[in-house]
Structures are given as structure tokens and as C-alpha cells.
């Protein structure tokens, strides 16, 4: 199973060997508490400080602006709730229809608690309408939370344009950058972002560690109240090994970003190969403003889970926004927000690459995929012969 062709890096990534080597001593030799007054604990405290600098450097931030968290979900929750606590008179939140559940479900809960939430729509390219954003902003808006890049389509939002508009209304600006960090360069020094969430396991660190950037001067209230750790902004003894791992992963990501856009070359090769060898296939989302490692491809007339399980036979790992893979019975909220036709929606597959992806792996996918798609299409009652009937079905659904 270790030899699988792993093209599901937006779900999680493999731990880099250097990251593992950096963290292991903190699970064995250096078990001290970084808050302790003795030398044994003190050396652990130094490792945490170094990791904080490494993460800050990746973001172009200052060390004191980094709070270590347990995951992306914690970062998102902490940011939104802090923004609301810091501005108790403002009761309005703006976010988008395509956010991660960590934001969407929190917002739904806040609606039940009396807050008003605006969910900005996206067009068929997965892009926001900035006029809609501007029309939604009021003096009552506490926070605007928008993801940097979408986990399913890879579509990148115009974050700085959004930030400029948000600042005019005095609201705080939070960005869930879990998918963007390590994949595209970010610089908080020149940014309008007030708070930014990142997660370790998306950048080759282990699961269970993340960070929240909070711009200096932004009023912050902790989600976890406890000891003085993280300067009182996040109680709880530090996950030292995880923090060291995140620091090392941030350092490696920064080095990688300075080099060649390897994933993008391979991603483009994969896309071109698929589109030229398999008919009735489309790229979902804005093809230009997109993460370099991600492609979301709709294979018409067939269902995603069947494609994934067929790929799995060849030890190829990808993912799908189809209903059948989620257990929720409805296809991905992101692809639905794009308004894709159902014939595309259910057969959409996401391939997400990493710096470890090789050309041989992409070639292998291109070798086996056409016959997989062809076999499933032969099984399907929907095919080009039925195009009219299919169109009728889709129109009937839209009319409902």
C-alpha cells in the first residue's frame, strides 16, 4: 500500500522525512515542558521559538503573530469567535457558499445564536462577485471570512481585492488558507488579512498541528482559556513535537516555493492528457486562478465513487465530490454552488498533486484512466445516445 500513486494531497499529505526526523526527538529525548524554568525544559522552549519563526517566515509575518493550534478547524473557530467577541455590537458575518465545513457549520450555529450570516454565491467558474460582497457589507459586519483557495476545485479568490473592500467597512478579515499555504507564496506584510488559518497535515507535517496568524493590533480573545501558553491566546501545554514538525515543514515549503513549479507542470500534463484522450470531460472551476497542484475533472454520465474504486485497483488515490463517497447522499456543496449540470456533478474527480508526485505516476494514470472511464460509461444508461433524455432530466431538475 506504500507504493500507491497518491494524488489526494488536498485531503492530507505524507510526512516529509526531514519533518519526521526533526520531530522524533521531541517524542523521546526532549520531553520537557517548554514553560519549565530548568534547562531541560528550556531547550524545548527554544525549539518551539524556532518553529514559530519558521512558520512566521513562510507567511511573511512576525513571530508574535503566530498562535499554534491543533488543526485548521480550531484556527477557523478561534478566529471567527474572537472577531465576534472583540466587536460585541456587530452581529453580521459574511462568508461564501463554498467554504470548508469548519466555517459553514460554525456560521450555521451562530445563526441559531442570533447572528446574521451572508453566504456569498459563486459563478460557474467558482469565482465571487465583488459587487455582491460590497452590497452585503454594512457597519454591522463584524467579520468577513473567505477561503484563500478552494479545497475541491483549487480556485483562488482575489484575496487582496476582497480585503480592500472589507477594510472600507471596518470589519475584520479572516482567511482560511489551509489549502493555499505552501502551494502559493503569501506575504502578510503587504496583505490586508487580519487573521489566517493554516494546517500542518496539508504541508507534509503530521495531523494534529496547525497555526493561526493574528495581525499585530487585532483584538483577540482565546477560544481555549487556560495557562499562559501562546501568550494567553491559546491555553494548553504545547504539542511540542507537532510544533517542531510544523516549523520544519514550513521551512521546506518556503524552499520549495522558491524553486520550479513542478506540480503545476505535472498537473497540466495530467489535464491535457485526460482531456485529449477521454471525450465528454470538463475541468471544473476557474482554470486560470487556481492552485498549481489541483485539478477537478468532471467525467460526464458516470459516478465518482465507481471511478475512485476502479482507480484504487491500480493503487491510484484521488477523491470525489460525488454523493456516494460522502455518505451525505448529496454531491459536494462546492460543486453544487458552481451550478454544474448533474451529469458532470456526480462524476467529478479531484486529483491533487504534491512535490513528491512524479512524471511516471502521472503517465500511469493517463495509461489506465481511459479504459476505466470507458468501462463505466458502457455500464451507464446515460451516454451520448441519450443526450436528449439527459438534457430533459437536467432541465426538469432545474425547474423544480
CB-nearer residue toward other proteins: 20 or 324: 324
Q: Assess whether 107 carries a catalytic annotation.
A: no
Task: Please report how close the Cβ of residue 6 comes to other proteins at its closest, in angstroms.
Answer: 15
Cell of 393: 432530466
Beta bridge partners of 119: 95
Task: Please report how close the Cβ of residue 203 comes to other proteins at its closest, in angstroms.
Answer: 24
CB-nearer residue toward other proteins: 218 or 324: 324
Active site residue: 4, 71, 107, 324, which one?
324
What is the binding site for other proteins (CB under 8 A)?
301-306, 309-310, 313, 322-325, 327-331, 342-343, 346, 378-382, 390, 393-394, 397
Cα dihedral 171, 109, 326, 70 sign: positive
CB-nearer residue toward other proteins: 45 or 370: 370
Task: Please report how close the Cβ of residue 248 comes to other proteins at its closest, in angstroms.
Answer: 30
Q: What does the buried/exposed string (b/e) look like for 310-341 if buried means 16 or more CB atoms within 10 Å of the residue's CB?
A: bbeeeebbbbbbbbbbbeeeebbbbbebbebb
Q: What's the rounded Cα separation, in Å, for the pair 269 and 107?
A: 39
Residues 6+ apart with CB under 8 A from 365: 5, 7, 270, 311, 316, 351
Task: Please report how close the Cβ of residue 179 comes to other proteins at its closest, in angstroms.
Answer: 22
Of 215, 2, 166, 174, nearest to 83 by C-alpha is 174
Task: Please report how close the Cβ of residue 205 comes to other proteins at its closest, in angstroms.
Answer: 24
Of 2, 19, 5, nearest to 368 by C-alpha is 5
For the beta carbon of residue 238, count every other beta carbon within 10 angstroms.
Answer: 23
Q: Which residue, chain included where needed, has cell 477594510? A: 167
CB-nearer residue toward other proteins: 310 or 352: 310
Question: Alpha helix locations (H) across the chain?
Answer: 17-23, 39-59, 72-86, 101-112, 130-136, 159-168, 240-258, 262-277, 304-312, 323-326, 333-337, 342-345, 359-379, 387-399
Q: What's the rounded Cα separation, in Å, for the pair 34 and 68?
A: 14
Residue 149 in 3-state DSSP?
strand
Query: What are the angstrom distances between the C-alpha of 156 and each of 15, 164, 400?
Result: 25, 17, 31
CB-nearer residue toward other proteins: 105 or 276: 105
Task: Please report how close the Cβ of residue 384 comes to other proteins at its closest, in angstroms.
Answer: 14
CB-nearer residue toward other proteins: 9 or 310: 310
Which residues carry out catalysis?
324
Amino acid at each position: 500500500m506504500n507504493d500507491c500513486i497518491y494524488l489526494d494531497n488536498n485531503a492530507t499529505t505524507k510526512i516529509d522525512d526531514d519533518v519526521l526526523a526533526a520531530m522524533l526527538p521531541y517524542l523521546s529525548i526532549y520531553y520537557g515542558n517548554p514553560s519549565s524554568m530548568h534547562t531541560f525544559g528550556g531547550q524545548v522552549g527554544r525549539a518551539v521559538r524556532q518553529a514559530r519563526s519558521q512558520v512566521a517566515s513562510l507567511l511573511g509575518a512576525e513571530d508574535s503573530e503566530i498562535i499554534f493550534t491543533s488543526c485548521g478547524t480550531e484556527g477557523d473557530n478561534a478566529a471567527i469567535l474572537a472577531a465576534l467577541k472583540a466587536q460585541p455590537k456587530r452581529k453580521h458575518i459574511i462568508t461564501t457558499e463554498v467554504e470548508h465545513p469548519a466555517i459553514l457549520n460554525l456560521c450555521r450555529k451562530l445563526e441559531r445564536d442570533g447572528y446574521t450570516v451572508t453566504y456569498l454565491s459563486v459563478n460557474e467558474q467558482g469565482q465571487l462577485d465583488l459587487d455582491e460582497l460590497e452590497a452585503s457589507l454594512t457597519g454591522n459586519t463584524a467579520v468577513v471570512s473567505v477561503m484563500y483557495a478552494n479545497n475541491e476545485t483549487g480556485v483562488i479568490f482575489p484575496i487582496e481585492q476582497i480585503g480592500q473592500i472589507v477594510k472600507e467597512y471596518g470589519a475584520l478579515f479572516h482567511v482560511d488558507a489551509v489549502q493555499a499555504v505552501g502551494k502559493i507564496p503569501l506575504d502578510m506584510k503587504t496583505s490586508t488579512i487580519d487573521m489566517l488559518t493554516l494546517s500542518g497535515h496539508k504541508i507534509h507535517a503530521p495531523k494534529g498541528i496547525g497555526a493561526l496568524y493574528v495581525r499585530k493590533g487585532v483584538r483577540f480573545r482565546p477560544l481555549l482559556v487556560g495557562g499562559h501558553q501562546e501568550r494567553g491566546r491559546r491555553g494548553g501545554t504545547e504539542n511540542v513535537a507537532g510544533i517542531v514538525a510544523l516549523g520544519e515543514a514550513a521551512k521546506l515549503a518556503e524552499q520549495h516555493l522558491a524553486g520550479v513549479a513542478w506540480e503545476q507542470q505535472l498537473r497540466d500534463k495530467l489535464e491535457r492528457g485526460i482531456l485529449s484522450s477521454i471525450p465528454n470531460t470538463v475541468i471544473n472551476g476557474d482554470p486560470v486562478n487556481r492552485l498549481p497542484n489541483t485539478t477537478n475533472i468532471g467525467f460526464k454520465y458516470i459516478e465518482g465513487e465507481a471511478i475512485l474504486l476502479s482507480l484504487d485497483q491500480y493503487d491510484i488515490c484521488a477523491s470525489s465530490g460525488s454523493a456516494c463517497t460522502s455518505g451525505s447522499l448529496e454531491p459536494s456543496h462546492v460543486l453544487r454552488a458552481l451550478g454544474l449540470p448533474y451529469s458532470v456533478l456526480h462524476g467529478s474527480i479531484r486529483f491533487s498533486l504534491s512535490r513528491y508526485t512524479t512524471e511516471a505516476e502521472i503517465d500511469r494514470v493517463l495509461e489506465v484512466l481511459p479504459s476505466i472511464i470507458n468501462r463505466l460509461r458502457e455500464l451507464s444508461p446515460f451516454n451520448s445516445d441519450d443526450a436528449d433524455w439527459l438534457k430533459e432530466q437536467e432541465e426538469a431538475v432545474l425547474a423544480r
